[in-house]
Amino acid sequence: MVAPTLVILAVVIGYPIVRAILMSFQRYKPLSGLPATNTGLNNYHEVFGDPIFWESLRNTAVYTFGSVAVSALLGLLLALLTENLGGRWRYVRSLLLTPWAVPLIVVAFLFRYMLDQDYGVVNAVLRHLGIIHSNVHWLTSSAWAMPSVMLANIWTQLPFFFLIFTAGLASVPNEVIEAARVDKAGPWAMATRIKLPYLTGSALVAILISVINNFNDFAKVWAMTEGGPGYSTTTLVVYVYRLAFSSFNMGYAATVGTIWLILLVIFAVLYIWLLQRKSAS
């Protein structure tokens, strides 16, 4: 019964991956009308000397690890603080999940509007509070564009961590909490010594899922800045997309994609190895 799924995946995912790896050794520009020609490792040499590649690699790392770290920490904090909400207040938890249910294109539009340099509410509020004196070009200056896109990204994914950690906290056995209370553990000790150890498992899994999703994120970045200004928010996804569908340089795009695939696999293998070593000890 698993066969239909395997067949579909082989055609729509397996074949493209093999083809992408093969293309990474070719010079192939479909619009030129020339057939693909094998060029060996030429593309790879070119990639390592390509400054835009290195810049997008750095941007990807900042975007991914920055967003995940901030979202995970804030999600953990919120989960700990709202743990004991009961009665009428338990709906607060559902309300805090709302950003997750907002479509990504809407998130992009919403933050584009709120961060607009002329009409945006963020500049207006900061101006009224006297924090800034002239409008900040949030999305159109290379210094602020990346933090601004990350802000939108953190807004959408914080609920994911909040939910995972809330579920993790609910699984801490009551006896453990009672025992700690009898020993007069303060709230800080309770959180760090008693509850956190129960959360590491779900935290590691959630971080892995979320790092991979962020590595592969296209919609938010593209809809907010298209990778600009300059290359300041060009992540690897955006760079590969531009290479493949703006310059139609399929071979070179496949090379960047393959290198990135290798990095992703290395990260995942290391991570899973760590995870298993941890659960073994």
Partner 1 sequence: MTAVLQDTRTTPAVAAPGRRRRRRVAGVGVALIVVLALAWSLAPVYWMLATSFKSSLEVSRLDPTLVPRELVAGNYGELVGHSLPFTSYLVNSLLTSLIAAVIAVFFSALAGYSLSRARYRLRGVVGQAILATRMLPLVVLIGPLYLLLLKAHLLDTYLGLIIGYTSFALPFGAWMMKGFIDAVPREIEEAARVDGYRRFGILVRVIIPLTLPGLFTTAAFVFMDAWNNLLYPLTLINTAQKQTLPPGLLGSFTGQFKTDWGGMMAAACITSVPLLVAFFAVQRYMVRGLTAGALAGE
> Which residues from 260-279 bind partner 1, rule CB under 8 A?
260-261, 264, 268
Task: Give the DSSP H or E segment for 37.
Answer: strand 37-38
Tokens of 39: 């060029």
Token match 């025992």: residue? 179
Q: Which of 55, 49, 50, 48 is nearest to 232 (CA)?
A: 55
From 44, 216, 231, 232, residue interacting with partner 1 (rule: CB under 8 A): 216
Residues 6+ apart with CB under 8 A from 97: 159, 162, 163
Q: Which of residues 3-22 bind partner 1 (CB under 8 A)?
A: 4-6, 8-9, 11-17, 19-20
CB of 66 to partner 1, least distance (A): 18
172 with 198: CB under 8 angstroms? yes
Q: Which of residues 97-136 bind partner 1 (CB under 8 A)?
A: 97-106, 109-111, 113-114, 116, 118-119, 121, 124
Q: Does 91 bind partner 1 (CB under 8 A)?
A: no
Q: Does 253 bind partner 1 (CB under 8 A)?
A: yes
Q: Does 245 bind partner 1 (CB under 8 A)?
A: yes
CB of 178 to partner 1, least distance (A): 8
Task: Give the DSSP H or E segment for 223.
Answer: helix 219-225
165 with 81: CB under 8 angstroms? no
Tokens of 258: 């393959």
From 63, 136, 153, 159, residue interacting with partner 1 (rule: CB under 8 A): 159
Nearer to partner 1, 69 or 219 (CB): 219
From 41, 147, 178, 278, residue interacting with partner 1 (rule: CB under 8 A): 178
Q: Is the peptide bond before 229 cis (omega within 30 degrees of 0)?
A: yes
From 43, 56, 64, 258, residue interacting with partner 1 (rule: CB under 8 A): 258
